[in-house]
Structure 1
Amino acid sequence: MSNTSTISKSLIEAIKARRTYYAISKQSPISDDQIISLVQEAVKYSPSAFNSQSARAVVLLGENHDKLWNIVKETLRKIVPADQFASTEQRVDSFKAGYGSVLFFEDTTVIEGLQKQFASYADNFPKWSQQSSAIVQYVAWTLLEEQGLGASLQHYNPLIDEEVKQAWDIPASWQLIAQMPFGTPTAQPGEKEFQPIDERVKIFK
């Protein structure tokens, strides 16, 4: 039996509800096993070019989550001017305040193998890899939100890449793409403004 909670919203409602949450707490409305199952299913069922399945993910909970954001903070401390670091520290601490984080990677070994196997498409595989990674990130984000967890997508790579790989024994071929801190929302995001949809979608029938 899957550990995933019953999905109660329709797909379109879940898509509409997914937002960026910066104010999150070290609480979760679902169990760790359910969180892990959601990420596993996002990775397993998201599509990829040539069914390459190059996406990889690492779920960090508890002290491991805190450790990630300590790495980010100390990395930034070395490069951000001291008189500007307070705001940077505050932002990083807001991510650390969450319940957990998902790290998203792409396995470059898979991509390089496809480049050799299908040489005529070699230049496209890195692009397709980024696209498939984005799908995994979006699916995971939406599934977490549907279960009552707020999340945001962060990109402190490549600054933290080597230390992250060392801290969690990540294979050298895994390229860090994004970090997603999540937790129970403590404040709602502001109203989202939309550009006119008829300027963004053209219809011919």
Structure 2
Amino acid sequence: MNFFEAVETRRSVYALNKEVKVSDDRIKEIVEHAVKHVPSAFNSQSSRVVVLFKGEHEKLWDMTTEVLKAVMGDADFSGTQQKMDMFKGAYGTVLFFEDQAVVGGLQEAFPAYADNFPIWSEQTAGMHQFAVWTGLATEGIGASLQHYNPLVDERIANEWNVPESWKLRAQMPFGGIAQPAGDKEFKPLDERIKFFG
């Protein structure tokens, strides 16, 4: 599969199961390769990742369910429960963080760019998410990107001993593809791109 085929293969897949056809070691290789080689401003390498497999993954979504139930109170939880069950039914979850100690250090070292370092950190986070997501897709693993932060941040930090300076940016449940992503609509490229010269 070439690069453009890999980019096209990456989709938001929500219907996931535990039937992954590659080893945990292969999944670790994908994550490690992305974290090592994805670029960052000033080569800051501010992205941090935690990968949860099997029971640890299920624990995450049970915790998230508890937190959301507390937030929603007496409101109808059935739709949210379906999502939580769907994510829990996946094989694992990748948690993406940005280390604010790194960002703060760069702000101190380069005050002229201080306002930009948090923005550049978010760009780095997005690139890491895309690289891991695409890497998983090339192995036939489906995934989606979720954002239950900051509601779950404290519980996650306590459960998996996450350093205080790591700021949770996204959660990516992944697993076997129980149902592929549907058709995707594309806006006209001439409304989105300009070429000159």
Please state which band the TM-score falls in when normalised by the shorter chain: over 0.9
The letter of the residue matching 1:182 is F
Residue 84 of structure 1 and its aligned partner are, at CA, apart by 1.5
2:38 to 46, 52, 74: 46
1:49, 1:137 → 2: CA distance?
16
What is the DSSP-based 3-state SS (H/G/I as helix, E as strand, rest coil) of the residue aligned with 2:151? coil
Corresponding residue for residue 19 of structure 1: 11
So what's the TM-score if we normalise by structure 1? Answer: 0.95
Aligned with 1:66 (options 26, 35, 58): 58
Alpha-carbon distance in structure 2 between the residues aligned to 1:82 and 1:146:
42
Deviations along 1:49-105, whole A, 9 cap, x unmatched?
A: 000000000000011000000111000000114341011011111000000000000
Aligned equivalents of 1:36, 1:64: Cα separation in 2:
15
- The residue that corresponds to 2:169 in the other structure is 177
Distance 1:171 1:79 in 2: 25
In 1, Cα distance between the equivalents of 2:54 and 2:8?
A: 30
Q: Distance in 2 between matches of 1:121 and 1:204?
A: 30
Task: State the alpha-carbon separation in 2 of the partners of residues 86 and 21 from structure 1.
Answer: 21
Aligned identity (percent) is 50
Taking structure 2 as the reference length, the TM-score comes to 0.98
Of 180, 196, 200, 2:188 maps to 196
What SS is found at the alignment partner of 2:72?
coil
Query: How many Å separate the matches in 2 of 1:129 and 1:170?
Result: 18
Taking the TM superposition and a 5 Å limit, the aligned residue runs for 1:40-119 are 40-119=32-111
Please give the alpha-carbon distance, in whole angstroms, between the structure 2 residues aligned to 1:203 and 1:125. Answer: 29
AA paired with 1:127?
I
> Residues 109-134 of structure 1, C-alpha deviation per residue, up to 9 Å, x if partnerless?
00000000000000000000000000
Secondary structure at 2:161 match in 1? coil
Q: Secondary structure at the match of 1:42?
A: helix
Give the corresponding residue for 1:4: none
Aligned length: 197
Counterpart for residue 145 of structure 2: 153
Gaps of 5+ in 1: 1-8
Q: CA deviation at 1:189?
A: 1.3
SS of residue in 1 equivalent to 2:77: helix
Divergent runs of 4+, >4 A: none
Secondary structure, counterpart of 1:190 in structure 2: coil
Give the corresponding residue for 1:5. Answer: none
Measured in 1, the distance between the counterparts of 2:92 and 2:22 equals 12
Q: Where does the alignment leave 5 or more consecutive residues of structure 2 unmatched? A: none
| Corresponding residue of 1:163 | 155
